Structure 1
Amino acid sequence: MMDREFLISKWLNNDLNDQELEAFKALEDYEDLMKLTHSLQAFKAEDYDTSKELERALSTIKDSKKQSSWLKPFMRVAAVIAVCFGLYYFTSNPDTNVSTAMAQKTTISLPDASSVTLNAKSSIVFNKKSWKHKRNVKLEGEAFFKVAKGETFNVITQSGTVTVYGTQFNVKQRKNYFEVICYEGLVGVIHNSQETKLKPGDSFLIIDGKLIAKEKESQPSPSWLNNESTFNSLPYKEVIAEFERQYNVNITTKNIDTKQLFSGSFAHNNLDVAIQSITLPLQVTYSKVNNTIILTRE
């Protein structure tokens, strides 16, 4: 005999085959199920509250003062229906997750024609179902956004929230590192409950919990979109971390102060040239062992 809850679940999804349909019709509470589902035909997924609907169904039963033998099975059926509709709501409104691996970038379109380009080892999460009412994107890593005009657009990170109304900007949130650069429009950065507004060329940078002043950004877009990472007086440890993400390698250091500031760049398409770009300016030597690069200062 087929499992009762299994049949009800498939019935709610309109997924019963002929054999299952006959088994479903043979259920002892089939008529009660038909009556209950008829009363719920006005159900809308976005506004449905399973707890309220269950309470309403049970209240109707109590008010009728028909405390007959069918009350308990009907309550059981109502509970199953409520749970199944609740499961249907949450499974039909899943979040969309997009992520990149080491040495990988990708560009995706959001539901309103906004676009996001993810840098290496980054991820975003958003919900298509609620997008018209809530344009929220959760970000881990680094991404460049081109936002279409419309309702408030929020980029939520562990370090702070970036709010915009139609603009182009870059957000980088890594361990102990949070940076927002505005390239077009107006950006509001909320960090530690305080908002800072950025105009084109303005930056907001927090490293190890400290606000870092930066010069005006003169480029029209972040350099990593063109497969090059650029640094202007940033700690060497940040350069190393970005190099590891772009080339999927491990870097170890010997006798090197990784807090020293570095200005320069490296390309993403030639490892040998790139490693020289970040070592020669600091008079650092390097060696390669399998997938590990060892940086040394004598």
Structure 2
Amino acid sequence: MKKDRLLAKWLNDDLSPDELAAFEASPDFEKYQKIKNYTAHLEVGDLDENAMLSSILSQKKTAPKVVPLHKRWMFRAAAIFVLALGITFALKFLVPQTETANYGEKTTFLLPDHSEVVLNSGSEINYKKWNWDNNRHLELKGEAYFKVAKGRRFEVHTNLGKVSVLGTQFNVKVRKNRFDVVCYEGRVKVNYANTQLLLTHGQSVSFENGKQTNIKIRSLKPEWTENQICFYKEDIKSLLDEVERQYNIKIELNTKDTTSLFTGKLPSKNLDIALKIISTTYHLEAKKVSKNKIIFDEK
């Protein structure tokens, strides 16, 4: 009750300097301040005491019931708390949730059904918690590895295609015009443009500029989750883009040969070795001009 009275006095600017200092030092002050900011535009109508008195006198009662005026601020405080609960619910469940992995980072998190998601560098996922069990769908930019809990259909939407599964493990990668999906467990349905196909354990598909490539895989999980960057027939510009994401660096390429395709692996935790592999493969010379910038020149 004492806490409620302090809150009500604070809402009405009636706290003494000492009381105000103590109230602002309380652990809940920041929450109360946010609630007050959200409700600052609300207007609570003034209590018309004369109308209330006339109404009471017009009723045939032996003893009129008196409502203490100090309860007005209690009603207001109660209304604010109800509104705060609504705002908290909306922020937690209705507003889209965003998970990101910045360049040079990887992020692991759980969805409301305890499905596990690992985001690769330079990637983002958006989803809503509200009614998740009945509407398990999210938006992906970049690359992510999913361990999906059993339940209703689980959908991953990207700007190039859609992947639908039940309970399974799979990887989705979207970079520029390339869309890769790998199935590590169970089955996944892939939609790309007018193409629909089903992948089972150990199968992978890649779409780039409308061209489809099917690939057999032997790994049990994505190589990038174990600090290896895996490439399959990718040009040097796409390769260097991925190296930039993994190491959070900038790379300048000075070569005429940009069409040769690379298939292989690069380490994501040892930049010197990665640069050496690229230099040897493409006959380039790598120069570190600063901590975060590399220049490749033709030899």
Give the SS at the match of 1:257: coil
- Residues 119 and 142 of structure 1 are in contact (CA less than 8 Å); yes or no, is this contact kept in structure 2? yes
Structure 2 Cα separation of the partners of residues 22 and 160 of structure 1: 56
Match of 1:122 in 2: 123
Structure 2 Cα separation of the partners of residues 275 and 25 of structure 1: 64
Please list every run of 5 or more consecutive structure 2 residues that lacks an aligned counterpart in the other structure: 15-41, 50-82
Please list every run of 5 or more consecutive structure 1 residues that lacks an aligned counterpart in the other structure: 1-13, 32-83
TM-score by length of 1: 0.70
Match of 1:109 in 2: 110
TM-score by length of 2: 0.70
Match of 2:212 in 1: 212
Cα drift, residue 129 of structure 1: 2.0
Q: Which has the larger radius of gyration?
A: 2
- Residues 265 and 277 of structure 1 are in contact (CA less than 8 Å); yes or no, is this contact kept in structure 2? no
Structure 2 Cα separation of the partners of residues 91 and 103 of structure 1: 29
The alpha-carbon distance between structure 1 residues 152 and 276, as it changes in their structure 2 partners (threshold 3 A), is: same
What is the aligned-residue identity percentage?
A: 36
- Residues 127 and 138 of structure 2 are in contact (CA less than 8 Å); yes or no, is this contact kept in structure 1? yes
Q: How does 1:218-229 map to 2 (within 5 A)?
A: 218-229=218-229
Structure 1 Cα separation of the partners of residues 231 and 256 of structure 2: 18
Give the SS at the match of 2:132: coil
Structure 2 Cα separation of the partners of residues 297 and 25 of structure 1: 70
Structure 1 Cα separation of the partners of residues 225 and 197 of structure 2: 25
Matched, 1:17 2:18: no
Q: How does 1:1-298 map to 2 (within 5 A)?
A: 17-19=7-9, 20=11, 27-28=45-46, 88=87, 90-91=90-91, 93-207=94-208, 209-290=209-290, 291-298=292-299
Structure 2 Cα separation of the partners of residues 211 and 25 of structure 1: 60
Name whichever of 275-284 and 16-25 sits farther off: 16-25
Give the SS at the match of 1:161: strand
The alpha-carbon distance between structure 1 residues 27 and 206, as it changes in their structure 2 partners (threshold 3 A), is: same
- Describe the superposition over 1:81-113 as per-residue Cα deviations: whole angstroms up to 9, x where unpaired: xxx89x847445222211011110011111111
Match of 1:62 in 2: none
Give the SS at the match of 2:281: helix
Match of 1:68 in 2: none
- Residues 264 and 278 of structure 1 are in contact (CA less than 8 Å); yes or no, is this contact kept in structure 2? no
The alpha-carbon distance between structure 1 residues 25 and 218, as it changes in their structure 2 partners (threshold 3 A), is: closer
The alpha-carbon distance between structure 1 residues 192 and 26, as it changes in their structure 2 partners (threshold 3 A), is: closer
- Residues 264 and 277 of structure 1 are in contact (CA less than 8 Å); yes or no, is this contact kept in structure 2? no
Structure 1 Cα separation of the partners of residues 116 and 182 of structure 2: 16
- Describe the superposition over 1:233-287 as per-residue Cα deviations: whole angstroms up to 9, x where unpaired: 2222221111000111111111242221012211111111111122212222111
Cα drift, residue 21 of structure 1: 7.9
- Residues 100 and 124 of structure 2 are in contact (CA less than 8 Å); yes or no, is this contact kept in structure 1? yes
Aligned AA for 2:221?
S
Alignment size in residue pairs: 232
The alpha-carbon distance between structure 1 residues 221 and 18, as it changes in their structure 2 partners (threshold 3 A), is: same
* CA RMSD, 1 decimal: 2.9
Give the SS at the match of 1:188: strand
- Residues 205 and 215 of structure 2 are in contact (CA less than 8 Å); yes or no, is this contact kept in structure 1? no
Structure 2 Cα separation of the partners of residues 179 and 96 of structure 1: 24
